[in-house]
A = this chain, B = another copy of it.
């Protein structure tokens, strides 16, 4: 497995980061372009908060963990200025999207904008310790917690009471966010909270019988036989498992690490497409047709997060099972997502057969995040061996 250290390091530093440095910076209005063609041309100038915040975070992370390169800090600060100026409504909620100049386009209906903004300003504070950055991170985190029971607020379309569902995404993202914000929030506050999150995931969202992680459950963790209740998202579950491994590492909880690893394998085995390779995007736990028409597509982040989870599992115990799965996913990903012609960032969306479905390097949901974060995680994880 050690041979992958240099492969991921080289790809990150020579292909991925230069692509975003060359094409994503909006020199006129600040912030980042995320909608980029395979060659790096901007095909749309809207600014989606998830991706603005994630790119800011990524360059902060590079500055902190790879090299304190001035240009990387400058890129992070460019995003921070744009976001702190335009990103929030008067109550501190983060919009979902802005136009190129920063005018709000879509209301703050999506709490993950806030999650990624808190993560971004937390990281920025670590490399540029201005009080205002810590304050944005802290206030946003508090706001997330206060909105937690009803994250969509006035934008929710669910009729109250008929079918109450808890969604997996927020506790999953919070597992990562709380560790990310430890330098800002302090250790005391976060450690109890991660216990609560781990408990909720492992004893409620994890369906014991099948070993699969459900995307939506009833108020007490019960299975709800509906489209939402039957939904599986293997990539989501696998990504969550490396967040849990990180919590295990942080707390030196070997049981949690081992449990997370087992759950990860189960999602990989169930989510793998035996016919064409790659991991499915969505599945139905009873095998019924899912609502999502894109269910059989192969997405960049699913595969990169699986590689991160496998690298972490391997680093913890050196198991052959982790190495075999890593090689399988690595081979699929490098053969299908990597752009052999143009280089740079990877493609994001393949059809079931593994052909490029959308000719883009970035869009509304894909930016400078999963690929560089994953490569950095894999490099740094395997380097320790």
Which A residues are within 8 Å of any B CB, using their own CB? 35, 37, 43-44, 46, 95-96, 99, 103-107, 109, 154-155, 157-159, 162-163, 225-227, 286, 288-291, 293-297, 349, 351-352, 357-360, 363-364
Contact = CB atoms under 8 A, between A and B. Distances in A.
Contact of A227 (B46, B109, B357): B46
A260 to B, nearest CB: 29
Contacts of A43: 286, 288-289
B99 A163 contact: yes
A359 B104 contact: no
Contacts of A96: 157
A142 B43 CA distance: 41
B105 A163 contact: yes
Given A288-B360, A291-B363, 8 more contacts: A105-B159, A106-B157, A106-B158, A107-B159, A154-B154, A155-B157, A289-B358, A351-B351
B349 A99 contact: no
Closest 9 CB pairs of A and B: A293-B294, A289-B358, A104-B159, A289-B360, A43-B288, A103-B162, A107-B157, A109-B157, A106-B157
Q: From DSSP, what is the main secondary structure of chain A's interface residues?
A: loop
Among A37, A159, A290, A296, chain B packs the most CB atoms within 10 A around the CB of A159
A227 B106 contact: no
B158 A105 contact: yes
A44 B294 contact: no
A106 B288 CA distance: 21
Copy count, this protein chain: 2
Given A105-B159, A357-B296, A358-B289, A44 B227 contact: yes
Nearest to A356: B289
Contacts of A291: 363-364
A99 B162 CA distance: 8
A297 to B, nearest CB: 6
7 contacts: A46-B226, A96-B157, A107-B158, A154-B154, A155-B157, A291-B363, A351-B352
B227 A162 contact: no
B106 A159 contact: yes
B95 A363 contact: no
Contacts of A359: 289
Nearest to A360: B289
Contacts of A294: 293-294
Contacts of A35: 288
Contacts of A352: 351
Among A155, A227, A293, chain B packs the most CB atoms within 10 A around the CB of A293
Nearest to A362: B289
Contacts of A351: 296, 351-352
Contacts of A162: 99, 103-105
Contacts of A363: 289, 291
Nearest to A158: B106
Contacts of A105: 158-159, 162-163
A297 B155 CA distance: 30
A1 to B, nearest CB: 33
B44 A226 contact: yes
